[in-house]
């Protein structure tokens, strides 16, 4: 590794990736790793896909860089038209950016612009949730309730509010599992009323808790009731679909499980299956119509880029035309069932959960009391290391319980995973989980 690189990981040296195909990544020593988490729950279509590579090449031959204030492109326009058919937003308008954090920043500013345009400039506060993740730029980090990532930057944060997480395994509702949707809605309503609805701009949440809570699926009536409270108080609903979007949870978008229509949706990761940096914030036609006459003070050098849109369009077509969202739903359900069966007898597995190809395993010292391991035991790190040795890549989260303790691993393989690879994924995952016994 170069001495001039500031590496992403500072605690160990990384292998050099030299190739990838399907669900596998190959390093410079020829070792093959099963990409059990699609990197960071990103890769849906699989590595080395001819259609996605051809789309990137064709676009680069057409135009390379043109600025978003000077031109639109065929790639951006036709992608906007095509993705509109699957977005869970009424009359959507997409604002393309380079990734998830930028999509979240854009969504937050859209909410602010909407209220300003309607003469409600007092609506400045965003309500997010504890144990959430919305990105690492300062606005998105402020929305995030992921304590280990917030800690060093605390003096720069604190403008947003955080309510309870939708976390069935450790639900904050005292009467859980009775009336959880009602309880969450009442909590949110109380929060909005105590600060004053005229000060609240938006509520932002992941439809299914991802990078912090490891595929935590809310109870059935959570989302419909939360949306109702927001609508009552004129608070915009932002669904952060950066991880759940584009088939990851077995539906096109996470909110499709509950058939709700947010005012703004964000997307990133799976839009291009990770081939090129891309994402977007999509607002409803009503939000756009309010903002448009006054203008939208925002933009990035790389927003509205044709290359990202072209690869995103090819990704969308692969997902749609080759039934990959259904594949995510069906194979994901099978993986969940198999993992639950195989890990049932493993005492330090507290919960195995998820939807589609977005799965999480929560590790605990004591299954009955759900007491976590001490962070000093490095359970997640040891598990990931054992998996890597064995040629399996998993994704992780630590510290979700109290900012320090909490051990979670996630699976999120490409939807194109073959049945044989799925069997290897289960076998190696179980072996890695057992290795920390």
For binding to ligand PLP (CB under 6 A), which residues are involved? 40, 99-101, 104, 133-135, 206, 210-211, 240, 242-243, 268
User: Nearest approach, Cβ of 338 to ligand PLP (angstroms)?
Assistant: 25
Please identify, using beta-carbon distances, which residue of 104 and 291 lies nearer to ligand PLP.
Answer: 104
User: Nearest approach, Cβ of 389 to ligand PLP (angstroms)?
Assistant: 25
User: Nearest approach, Cβ of 40 to ligand PLP (angstroms)?
Assistant: 6
User: Nearest approach, Cβ of 90 to ligand PLP (angstroms)?
Assistant: 22
User: Nearest approach, Cβ of 414 to ligand PLP (angstroms)?
Assistant: 17
Partnered with residue 210 across adjacent β-strands are none
**Which positions ≥6 away from 119 have C-beta within 8 Å?**
none
What are the C-alpha distances in Å from 32 to residues 17, 26, 124, 198, 425? 10, 5, 49, 55, 13
Q: Are 88 and 260 in contact (CB under 8 A)?
A: yes
- State which residue has the least CB distance to ligand PLP: 100
Please identify, using beta-carbon distances, which residue of 31 and 159 lies nearer to ligand PLP.
Answer: 159
Angle between helix axes 419-435 and 324-343 (nearest 10 degrees) is 30
Please identify, using beta-carbon distances, which residue of 42 and 191 lies nearer to ligand PLP.
Answer: 42
CA distance linking residue 72 with residue 313, whole number of Å: 16
CA distance linking residue 273 with residue 314, whole number of Å: 10
CA distance linking residue 282 with residue 264, whole number of Å: 5
Please identify, using beta-carbon distances, which residue of 49 and 102 lies nearer to ligand PLP.
Answer: 102
Please identify, using beta-carbon distances, which residue of 164 and 210 lies nearer to ligand PLP.
Answer: 210
User: Nearest approach, Cβ of 122 to ligand PLP (angstroms)?
Assistant: 27
Please identify, using beta-carbon distances, which residue of 183 and 258 lies nearer to ligand PLP.
Answer: 258
Question: Nearest Cα to 217, choosing from 116, 314, 136, 336?
Answer: 336
Please identify, using beta-carbon distances, which residue of 162 and 340 lies nearer to ligand PLP.
Answer: 162
Please identify, using beta-carbon distances, which residue of 49 and 240 lies nearer to ligand PLP.
Answer: 240
User: Nearest approach, Cβ of 330 to ligand PLP (angstroms)?
Assistant: 23
3-state secondary structure of 182: helix
User: Nearest approach, Cβ of 41 to ligand PLP (angstroms)?
Assistant: 7
Q: Is 167 left (phi over 0), alpha (psi -120 to 50) or beta?
A: beta
Angle between helix axes 379-389 and 419-435 (nearest 10 degrees) is 140
Q: For residue 126, what are its two tokens?
A: 């965003």
User: Nearest approach, Cβ of 243 to ligand PLP (angstroms)?
Assistant: 4
Question: Nearest Cα to 284, choosing from 311, 271, 265?
Answer: 265
Phi then psi for 431, rounded to 5 degrees?
Answer: -65, -40
Q: Is the dihedral of CA 385, 386, 388, 394 positive or negative?
A: negative
Please identify, using beta-carbon distances, which residue of 142 and 240 lies nearer to ligand PLP.
Answer: 240
Please identify, using beta-carbon distances, which residue of 117 and 161 lies nearer to ligand PLP.
Answer: 161
- The CA-CA-CA angle for residues 270, 272, 274, to 5°, reads 75
User: Nearest approach, Cβ of 209 to ligand PLP (angstroms)?
Assistant: 9
Alpha helices in 261-372 (DSSP H): 285-291, 306-321, 324-343
Question: Nearest Cα to 313, choosing from 366, 273, 258, 260?
Answer: 273
Q: For residue 311, what are its two tokens?
A: 């690869």
């Amino acid at each position: 590794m170069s001495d001039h690189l500031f590496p992403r990981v500072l605690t160990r040296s990384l292998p050099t990736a030299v190739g990838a195909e399907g669900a596998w990544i190959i390093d410079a020593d020829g070792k093959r790793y099963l990409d059990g988490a699609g990197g960071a729950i990103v890769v849906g279509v699989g590595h080395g896909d001819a259609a996605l590579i051809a789309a990137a090449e064709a676009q680069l031959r057409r135009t390379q860089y043109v600025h978003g204030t000077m031109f639109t492109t065929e790639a951006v326009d036709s992608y906007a038209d095509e993705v509109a058919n699957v977005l869970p937003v009424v009359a959507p308008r997409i604002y393309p950016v380079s990734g998830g954090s930028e999509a979240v920043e854009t969504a937050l500013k859209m909410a602010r612009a909407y209220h300003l345009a309607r003469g409600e400039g007092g609506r400045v506060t965003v309500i997010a949730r504890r144990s959430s993740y919305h990105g690492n730029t300062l606005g998105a980090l402020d929305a995030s309730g992921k304590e280990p990532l917030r800690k060093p930057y605390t003096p720069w944060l604190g403008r947003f509010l955080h309510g309870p997480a939708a976390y069935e395994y450790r639900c904050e509702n005292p009467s859980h599992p009775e009336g959880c949707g009602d309880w969450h809605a009442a909590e949110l309503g109380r929060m909005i009323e105590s600060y004053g609805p005229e000060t609240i701009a938006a509520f932002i949440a992941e439809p299914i808790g991802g990078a912090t809570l490891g595929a935590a699926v809310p109870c059935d009536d959570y989302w419909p009731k939360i949306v109702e409270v927001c609508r009552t108080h004129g608070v915009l609903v932002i669904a952060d679909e950066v991880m759940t979007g584009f088939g990851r949870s077995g539906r096109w978008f996470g909110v499709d499980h509950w058939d709700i229509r947010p005012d703004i949706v964000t997307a990133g990761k799976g839009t291009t299956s990770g081939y090129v940096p891309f994402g977007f914030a999509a607002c409803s036609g009503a939000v756009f119509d309010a903002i448009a006459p006054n203008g939208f003070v925002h933009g990035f050098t790389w927003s509205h880029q044709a290359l990202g849109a072209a690869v995103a369009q090819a990704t969308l077509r692969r997902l749609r035309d080759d039934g990959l969202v259904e594949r995510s739903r069906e194979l994901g359900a099978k993986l969940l069932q198999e993992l639950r069966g195989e890990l049932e007898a493993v005492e330090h597995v507290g919960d195995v959960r998820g939807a589609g190809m977005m799965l999480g395993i929560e590790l605990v010292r004591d299954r009955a009391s759900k007491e976590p391991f001490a962070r000093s035991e490095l359970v997640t790190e040891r598990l990931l290391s054992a998996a890597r040795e064995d040629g399996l890549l998993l994704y992780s989260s630590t510290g979700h319980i109290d900012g320090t303790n909490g051990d979670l691993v996630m699976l999120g393989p490409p939807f194109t995973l073959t049945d044989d690879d799925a069997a290897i994924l289960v076998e190696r995952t179980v072996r890695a989980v057992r290795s920390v016994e």
